[in-house]
Amino acid sequence: MHHTPAPVVLILCTGNSCRSHLAEAILRHAAGDFLDVRSAGSKPAGYVHPLAIKAMAELGIDISGHHSKHMDEFLQQDVETVITVCGNADQACPVFPGQLNRHHWGFDDPAHATGDEAAQLAVFRRVRDEIKRVFEAYADGRRDQAKTTATPCT
C-alpha cells in the first residue's frame, strides 16, 4: 500500500510569534492525523510569545518547543494549502510549489495588547478561542472532504 504523505498546510503571519503558532498548534491538534501543519512568518520575530505559550498551555497544548521561522524555508517544498492569519502576510505571501489552496482569515494581533499581564492574557485567550473556532471547523471540513474523496484500498 502506497502511503501518500499528509498534505502540508502552512500558516503564515508577519512575525510568526503569536497568531500563526496558536493556529498551527490548534490545527495540528485537531487534524494532526491527516494534515502536516507548519507555520512561518514574512518577517519572523525570532521568538514565540510567552503569553501564546501560556494561552495554549491552558488548553493542554505545549508549544514551548516551537520556533519562529521564515516562510522562505518552505519555498522548496510542496505546500498544499497556505493560510494567512494577518493582513500583512496576505500581502507578502508568495505562491509555493504545489499550492492548491489559499485562505486568508485575519485575527487581531494579541502582541499589541496593552495593560498588565492579566489584561494581555485575556486578549490572547480571545484570539486563541477565535482561532480555535475557525481552525477546528476547517479541520472538520477537511476530514469530511477526505472521507468523501478517499477510495478504499484494494
Q: How many CB atoms lie within 10 A of CB 87?
A: 13
pLDDT in tens, 22-39: 999 999 999 988 999 999
Has residue 123 been placed in a domain? yes
Q: Give the range of the structural domain holding residue 38, as residue numbers without chain letter.
A: 8-149
pLDDT in tens, 120-147: 999 999 999 999 999 999 999 999 888 8
Q: Are 8 and 77 in contact (CB under 8 A)?
A: yes
* pLDDT score of 146: 80
Bridge partners, residue 83, by sequence: 11, 103
3-state secondary structure labels for all residues of 41-66: ECCCCCCCCHHHHHHHHCCCCCCCCC
Has residue 108 been placed in a domain? yes
Q: Are 100 and 79 in contact (CB under 8 A)?
A: no
Of the residues 12, 35, 93, 121, which is catalytic? 93
* pLDDT score of 87: 79
Q: Are 21 and 52 in contact (CB under 8 A)?
A: yes
* pLDDT score of 151: 59
Number of domains in the chain: 1
Residue 18: active-site member: no
Has residue 3 been placed in a domain? no
Q: Could you tell me the pLDDT band of residue 91, with boundaries at 50, 70 and 90?
A: confident
Has residue 2 been placed in a domain? no
Of the residues 10, 86, 123, 127, which is catalytic? 86
Has residue 120 been placed in a domain? yes
Q: Which of 106, 104, 105, 107 is nearest to 126 (CA)?
A: 107
Residue 153: active-site member: no
At 55, which CATH number? Answer: 3.40.50.2300
Has residue 110 been placed in a domain? yes
pTM here? 0.90
